[in-house]
Chains A and B, each alone.
Chain A
Amino acid sequence: GQNIDQPTEMTATEGAIVQINCTYQTSGFNGLFWYQQHAGEAPTFLSYNVLDGLEEKGRFSSFLSRSKGYSYLLLKELQMKDSASYLCAVMDSNYQLIWGAGTKLIIKP
């Protein structure tokens, strides 16, 4: 079966750095997406990785290792507004997105 695993919840301090991990097992791979979802709102696109390595976009970076079936989202200089759920999703061989359950990130002052 297809499976995406990410931690249920994480807590971090304002100004610090946090890494949210995602491991996956899917039928085929056409890229991995990270989305941010604030409570009561729809997800917004953060990043897309299809090749191994690190993609940096401002305070957010996303890393992929296809051989390990592993990705992480790195958030630097955390702000209170970063409190949200972070969803990992993998596009399988049929170009369908397989979603993880999301990681709820709590930022404390």
Chain B
Amino acid sequence: GAVVSQHPSRVICKSGTSVKIECRSLDFQATTMFWYRQFPKQSLMLMATSNEGSKATYEQGVEKDKFLINHASLTLSTLTVTSAHPEDSSFYICSARGTSGGPGETQYFGPGTRLLVL
């Protein structure tokens, strides 16, 4: 299967700082990448969908000025949590979908980044 990497896997930061998370598709080109957040014992929550070379589409309730997404190439998307606060502590997971984008195009997930804001 396709491989998606995510970096860092774990980050601890002070309140008010910004954190950047990278998501890379290693062996395929990803037209679309997705950013999810998952709180303990809860289901995945889609935050935003990003297409290469265009602005991300954010889900309702997700602040686009707080969660900056850049999808500059077909293999890299970044999520920056700006001015992080303790309530932003969560498991952030990216996924990537290949270039065909049609029915059955599987999303492959990165390993996730666990963010703890003190």
Whether A44 sits at the interface, judged by CB under 8 Å, is yes
Distance in Å: Cβ of A8 to nearest Cβ of chain B: 10
Complex contacts, B107 vs chain A, CB 8 Å: 33, 45, 97
Complex contacts, A64 vs chain B, CB 8 Å: none
Complex contact A41–B106 (CB within 8 A) = no
Complex contact B103–A30 (CB within 8 A) = yes
Interface-forming stretch among A16-24, A70-78, A99-107?
A99-107
Q: Give the nearest-CB partner of B106 in chain A.
A: A45
Complex contact B111–A91 (CB within 8 A) = no
Complex CA–CA separation, A35 to B34 (angstroms): 16
Complex contact B111–A95 (CB within 8 A) = no
Q: Which of A9-59 contact B (CB under 8 A)?
A: 30-31, 33, 35, 40-45, 48, 50
Assuming the contacts A95-B101, A102-B43, asked whether A43 and B109 have C-beta atoms less than 8 A apart, the reply is yes
